[in-house]
A and B are shown apart, each in its own frame.
Chain A
Amino acid sequence: MSDHTPAMEFHPQPRPGTPAPWAFPAPERLTLANGLTVLHCHRPGQQLVAVDVVLDAPLAAEPEGLDGVASILARALSEGTDTLSAEEFAGELERAGATLDTHADHPAIRVSLEVPASRLERGLTLLGDALRAPALPADEIERLVANRLDEIVHEQANPGRRAAKALYAELFPAADRLSRPRAGSAETVKRIDRAAVQAFYAAHLRPSTATAVVVGDLTGTDLAALLESTLGRWTAETREPAVHAPVTADDTGRVVIVDRPGSVQTQLLIGRIGPDRHDPEWAAQVLGTYCLGGTLTSRLDRVLREEKGYTYGVRAFAQALRSAADGSGRGLLAISGSVDTESTAPALQDTWTILRTLAAEGLTDAEREEAVQFLVGVAPLKFETAGSVAATLADQVEQYLPDTYQADFYRKLAELDTAAATRAVVAAFPPDRLVTVLVGDASVIAEPVKALGIGDVTVIA
């Protein structure tokens, strides 16, 4: 061993200095003359300004049989305006050094602009025009529909996407929009044309039910005037905001194997529904879920990765699905990762053992302490960029949470004890109420998984 004896001089592990105070930034609000709500937040030094717009056009509002129309609309928003063709619009955005991303999800359509502060006015003008007067040209919509049909084939080949699709179809009632793919299936997407997209735009996109979040270095910017002359030009009649139905799910413990012959790994997605961010238990659930599977040193990876080598990493998480102002919304709770095919049943066996041990013995104070230190301590890093602050504020808007939510969350988190975190994570992941989706080679994994006794096993193509 002398061979490996280090020649360096060692010193004791250093002690931390005095932490600098930090709090999640508090946004200010204003309302434009057209009814658009604005949240803004000055972040000195952040030269890339982020603008996130939340549009009150939930997927549940899509007409029967037209799943995907919200996604096609979202994509078509950047395909030209009343003054610019699709190619010109893309060119103008790039000339401003800007990016514009759009996404339709269950709660809302989100449009995200990032632009250097020096070109903020140009970026906001293009964003305003896209919202106010999108051309929605028939030929580009036809192309977007064709691209979406191709995209579905690619999703089908991706183990992660396929697992998510199967889990949502299992958990939620067929009548709930949550049960079906966000951007639609081949059958529904084929029916989408310009008229359908235009009608969805007219029915659901309007400033009075929309919110814009602006974050970045706004030094020397008269933001109110700038917004009035850009996003303020968008007008439409006022309508009542959307109402979201409560979320229900069937979490009877069972296993669905999505057969993917020849897979060298099995994609695991184990889930159910639980509280969303309105629930008083949310902070405790975040803490407990982190201890279960938030990082490489959490309970799941400590065994599955660092002891057994079954996986590159498995994570447990909770995310909002569809929230409501009255708190009746729910979140998705899940464990996700992939393991080599031969290790599928052993990895599931270990996962259930970890969950049962957790329920029987609870978390330790040391785990709670490390998790709180990480989750609270990492916040200044997590929110270093304008984009991350804007996205979090927009999530709050989309989920009907107060502007102070994130700041309060960190205060709450720091005060939680070990018992609270244990209680929440044990309630979140009961071993007999989990729907397990496995995307992998059924001919190899089905029999060993049946033998585990974690629920009835169904194999689907």
Chain B
Amino acid sequence: MANPAPASGLAITEHRLANGLRVVLSEDHLTPVAAVCLWYDVGSRHEVKGRTGLAHLFEHLMFQGSANVSNNGHFELVQGAGGSLNGTTSFERTNYFETMPAHQLELALWLEADRMGSLLAALDETSMENQRDVVKNERRQRYDNVPYGTAFEKLTALSFPDGHPYHHTPIGSMADLDAATLEDARAFFRTYYAPNNAVLSIVGDLDPEQTIAWVEKYFGSIPAHDGKQPPRDGTLPDTIGAEVRELVREDVPSRALMAAYRLPHDGTREADAADLALTILGSGESSRLYNRLVRRDRTAVSAGFGLLRLAGAPSLGWLDVKAGGEATLERIEAAVDEELARFAAEGPTAEELERAQAQIEREWLDRLTTVAGRADELCRYAVLFGDPKLVNSALPKVLDVTAEEVRAVAAARLRPDNRAVLVYEPTGDDDSNDSDEEAAA
């Protein structure tokens, strides 16, 4: 019925239960599968000082059972039904998703409703202590034990001032993870986990009437509540005003130049223009920075730009260059600045713009190719921008951006005085004393 191709758009229907839960449905009968996605409008930006990492730790606790589901029962039941599942936490939201064989859709709804309405009936000290240790090991595995692993955290802290809701990343600090209490987790649930603070999307081989009846049956009696405080204000000036810079001496394999540029908020036309600018400058092997640094100058092993889209604070343009051989960062940085200045002056060529739009179109197709990807996008547009149907105009908007708009956003934002810079200098083997101290700590 629904065609995943963006040309015709997704068929979308919206509903709202009396308790405030927003529900978005999209039918697609090509494969006998159905995706359930639930976004809670809470992320690390809602955390308070001394409790960083709580939203993510809490996400783990959501898998530890509820009134009618045993500890780990959520995983056992979904996988035992042939489904896959997970949850993730970002600055702006926490999402939970199950992709099920179509005939098991009702089970996923029952499970999500049970934990939305009754998590605290099961949450205890044992789960809290165990998942605290798991999350600390997640932090070690993903960030602390890999070279450059804490760059994201460092650059984020440089980009957003102390006290700003986006100053810290979702993983949180070890000290704050240690400090979190069971009562903190309970209060977090009572504050943010309510039907009126969530969007439920269901995509795939489903019967809409039956599906809405199930949603009503399982979620309808969960009481709404209004304990939620809005996140602290993330408003900042469009540009930083002066470069911020930090030098890191660590045991890393090569020198690196990383930087974060403050960019327009997600959801604006300027953010799409910035996406195109970063794609032309730093995405893929035909990008300007790759051609300059990797192919021509041969000063870098890798060079690229990424976009961290943020709706409640300025987005960040993410530069990452790993030096090759003996190349100096001074030379690399001079070349980057030269390329950015040239782009800001001249803008993209028609062919570059066409290529970038084709790449973004492919990435978009890729995201919409699975029912789970579509369900997540529907929640994203509903939670962050108020309307899931915006999903159908997202790509046409990017294709509508002009070369002059791309140039203009680059000129305004991709400037040295609008960035936080992180520079890595390897310590080599002579600095093993530092390592020994860490090991003993």
Contact = CB atoms under 8 A, between A and B. Distances in A.
Interface in B138-186: 138, 140-142, 144-147, 186
Interface stretch (A147-155, A206-214, A319-327, A397-405): A147-155
B80 A261 contact: no
A48 B362 contact: yes
Contacts of A18: 103
Contact of A96 (B145, B358, B366): B358
Contacts of A369: 80
A312 B141 contact: yes
A377 B82 contact: yes
A150 B324 contact: yes
B298 A146 contact: yes
B133 interface: yes
Given A17-B103, A95-B358, A11 B110 contact: yes
Interface stretch (B50-58, B216-224, B306-314, B411-419): B216-224
B32 interface: yes
B284 interface: yes
Nearest to B108: A14
B432 interface: yes
Contacts of B138: 312
Main secondary structure of the interface of B (DSSP, over half): helix
A380 B33 CA distance: 7
A265 interface: yes
Contact of B369 (A22, A46, A157): A46
B75 A295 contact: yes
A19 B33 CA distance: 10
Interface stretch (A1-9, A26-34, A55-63, A423-431): A1-9
Interface in A216-256: none
Interface string B81-101: 111100000000000000101
A220 to B, nearest CB: 14
A444 B439 contact: yes
B298 A6 contact: no
Contact of A373 (B81, B102, B439): B81
Interface string A99-111: 1000000000000
A180 B308 CA distance: 38
Interface of A: 3-11, 13-14, 16-20, 22, 44-48, 78, 86-87, 90-91, 93-99, 114-116, 119, 140, 143, 146-147, 150-151, 153-154, 156-159, 261-265, 295-297, 302, 305-312, 338-341, 369-370, 373-374, 376-381, 384-386, 441, 443-444
Interface of B: 3-5, 28, 30-33, 67-68, 71-72, 75-77, 79-84, 99, 101-107, 110, 113-114, 117-118, 120-121, 123, 129-134, 136-138, 140-142, 144-147, 186, 205, 214, 217-218, 221-223, 251-254, 284-286, 291, 294-295, 298, 301, 322, 324-325, 351, 354-356, 358-359, 361-362, 365-366, 369-371, 432, 434-436, 438-439
The 7 closest A-B pairs by CB, nearest first: A377-B82, A309-B133, A262-B435, A20-B32, A8-B117, A17-B103, A6-B118
26 contacts: A5-B121, A17-B104, A19-B32, A22-B31, A22-B32, A45-B4, A45-B30, A48-B362, A91-B286, A91-B351, A94-B284, A95-B358, A96-B358, A147-B294, A154-B253, A154-B254, A157-B147, A158-B146, A159-B145, A261-B432, A264-B438, A302-B72, A307-B130, A312-B138, A338-B137, A377-B83
